Amino acid sequence: MFTVRRMGVDTHKESVAFLDDDDLLCRCLGLHPMDRVEISASSRKLLAVLNAVEGTLVPRGTLGLSNYAFANLGLPEGADVELRPTEPPASMDLLRAKITGKRLSQDDFRNIVGDIAEGRYSRIELTAFVVAATINSLDDDEVYALTRAMVENGEQLHFDNPIVADKHSIGGIPGNRTTPIVASIVAAAGLLIPKTSSRAVTSPAGTADTMEVLMNVELPIERSYEIVKKENGCLIWGGALNLARADDLIIRIEHPLNIDSESLMISSILAKKKAAGSTHIVLDIPVGPGSKAPTRKKADRLKTRFEEIGRRLGLKIRVLLTDGSQPIGHGVGPVLEAQDVLKVLRNEPDAPTDLREKSLYLAGELLELTGKVGSGHGRQRAQALLQSGQAYEKFERIRNLQGRRELPEPGQDTQEILAEKSGSVKAIHNEVIARVARLAGAPRDPGAGVYIFKHIGDPVKLDEPLFRVHAQSEQPLGFALKFLEEHRDAIEVG
């Protein structure tokens, strides 16, 4: 028996156990570092990867757990648990088959995803799955099978309504915070739109990060249902609902490897939408350098695949190809993006025009897709709901029900980046702007980020500010400025 201790170590979504090196030797457990182990007490069980620790960090007779493992085990510190080795996942033969290029069936993916969702795959084995699915790309049948398995291995939302609207962007563009605006317009139109969104993994902010500075986004399913019933919509973090839980584990592997698997992206997005109960979806694919669809050819292929696999899942999807050549809005980072959202919803004169116009376009298409208005009349209806203030009123009611938070100030340590010559903006490098915002502290520091003054085509005078970097202290601001010394073409003036 061992006594449980929370180590305070963040291992993201990997369950890791820590054991004194002498315990491994003296107790003859037959265990070695990096072995997979089962931790159990009464009816509770947890699978984890074992790490050995020297010194006094983990006392003899104690089993240390990472934050993620401790939360999943659900026992208090000091509880007694048993430890034993476990066999490799039963689906490892299927994983090896995929590595060699074999096509997998629906049952094969059920077995693999089931093992992933139950925590039976270590980070190394998850990496093998991601690489295999990328090198030996999944065909449409396999993507459909993987998506179904993702949906089945997680919570699912159910609404007593034949139409549940949704909007999603495949990402890759800084700013682009259209979701809260679209959701507010569509909910004000009387449609159901329970919006579940993601947090940032490698970007300066996800929709959930931006909304979190304005309201509580981590709500239980029961409370989410109540808010949707009252106001037709919500703006919450999907991760709190445990939807398609295997997908969250896979995503954590993809990003550090900088792997952009088309098949896994399609499966990830559609699984989350299906699990959230969506029936009608407008999908935004930004096209341009630095986006996930850098060319029109790739965008067209993604469009076709999303539509086909969505149809097989019983979803009505309208895929829209939009301009992804530059950031959308002025702000990049949670607080700065939230400022843009509020300005658009409040119809303020200095609201970013591009964010407003794109939101109206997407909302109008969704109103038409659901049959709420006739073809060709969606944008007009969306604009009326925004200009009348009905969309902002809806947003504020949802905000109050979820738990209102007042918008913080942006980071007070700032530096403006000035134009080195006169001319006009010829290009903005999305990946450079996103990296600067991350180095400045976003999204961990909500006030950090980048405020963009100029967009493509705008005239520029010598020494006129192009953008401003925000940080909470001098050190992260210094990291961002050091990066900019090596990337002086973040915004190109010609």
Arithmetic mean of pLDDT, 187-192: 98
Q: For residue 409, count CB atoms less than 10 angstroms from its CB and return exposed for 0-12, middle for 13-18, buried for 19 or more.
A: exposed
Cα–Cα distance list, 28 to 86, 317, 425, 441 (Å)? 16, 57, 68, 46
Q: Would 46 be classed as within a structural domain?
A: yes
- Partnered with residue 31 across adjacent β-strands are none
Are 260 and 202 spatial neighbours (Cβ–Cβ below 8 Å)?
no
d(CA 303, CA 291): 15
- Phi and psi dihedrals of 53, rounded to 5? -125, 135
Q: Would 130 be classed as within a structural domain?
A: no
CATH number at residue 43: 2.40.40.20
Residues 355 and 417 in one domain: no
List all residues 6 or more positions away from 76 whose beta carbon is below 8 Å from its beta carbon.
4
Q: Would 288 be classed as within a structural domain?
A: yes
Q: Would 252 be classed as within a structural domain?
A: no
Instruction: Locate the DSSP E strands across 389-478.
Output: 413-418, 423-428, 449-452, 459-460, 465-471
Residues 275 and 376 in one domain: yes
> Residue 26, Cβ neighbours under 10 Å: how many?
10
Q: What is the pLDDT of residue 239?
A: 84
* Predicted confidence (pLDDT) per residue in 298-311, tens digit: 999 999 999 999 99
Place of tokens 């679209």: 182
- Phi and psi dihedrals of 323, rounded to 5? -70, 120
d(CA 33, CA 36): 9
List all residues 6 or more positions away from 400 whose beta carbon is below 8 Å from its beta carbon.
none
* Predicted confidence (pLDDT) per residue in 49-84, tens digit: 999 998 888 998 999 999 999 999 999 999 999 998
Residues 426 and 489 in one domain: yes
Arithmetic mean of pLDDT, 170-185: 94
* Structural tokens at position 475: 């050190």
Last residue of a domain, one of 353, 368, 402: 402
Residues 169 and 316 in one domain: yes
Q: What is the pLDDT of residue 351?
A: 98
Q: What pLDDT band is residue 244 in, cutting at 50, 70 and 90?
A: confident
Cα–Cα distance list, 486 to 302, 327, 425, 451 (Å)? 34, 20, 19, 20
Place of tokens 């934050």: 67
Q: Would 198 be classed as within a structural domain?
A: yes
Give DSSP secondary structure letters for 275-326: HTT--EEEEEEEESTTSSB-SHHHHHHHHHHHHHHHHHTT-EEEEEEEE-SS
Arithmetic mean of pLDDT, 4-11: 94
Q: What is the pLDDT of residue 102?
A: 95
Closest-CA residue to 323 (of 290, 350, 346, 351) = 290
How many structural domains is the chain composed of?
3
Residues 206 and 301 in one domain: yes
Q: What's the first-to-final CA gap in the chain, in angstroms?
A: 70
Q: Would 131 be classed as within a structural domain?
A: no
Question: Sign of the CA dihedral 293, 177, 175, 440?
Answer: negative
* Predicted confidence (pLDDT) per residue in 142-165, tens digit: 999 999 999 999 899 999 999 999
Highest mean pLDDT among 6-15, 288-297, 375-384 belongs to 375-384
Given a cut of 80, whether residue 472 has pLDDT beyond it is yes
Establish whether 260 is a catalytic residue: yes
Residues 298 and 224 in one domain: yes
* Predicted confidence (pLDDT) per residue in 93-105, tens digit: 999 999 999 999 9
> Residue 458, Cβ neighbours under 10 Å: how many?
13
Question: Sign of the CA dihedral 185, 248, 96, 38?
Answer: negative
Which residue among the candidates 22, 93, 260, 458 is catalytic per the annotation?
260
The whole domain housing 350 covers 165-237+262-402
Closest-CA residue to 216 (of 235, 203, 200) = 235
Residues 318 and 432 in one domain: no
Residues 79 and 15 in one domain: yes
Residues 398 and 466 in one domain: no
- Phi and psi dihedrals of 38, rounded to 5? -110, 130
Residues 466 and 340 in one domain: no
pTM confidence score: 0.91
Residues 368 and 454 in one domain: no
Residues 227 and 270 in one domain: yes
Q: What is the pLDDT of residue 26?
A: 64
CATH number at residue 220: 3.40.1030.10
Q: Would 408 be classed as within a structural domain?
A: no
Q: What is the pLDDT of residue 110?
A: 96
* Predicted confidence (pLDDT) per residue in 316-342, tens digit: 999 999 999 999 999 999 999 999 999
Last residue of a domain, one of 378, 402, 426: 402
Last residue of a domain, one of 17, 52, 85: 85
Q: What is the pLDDT of residue 38?
A: 92
Q: Would 151 be classed as within a structural domain?
A: no
CATH number at residue 436: 3.90.1170.30
Cα–Cα distance list, 170 to 285, 312, 430, 432, 446 (Å)? 6, 20, 15, 19, 22
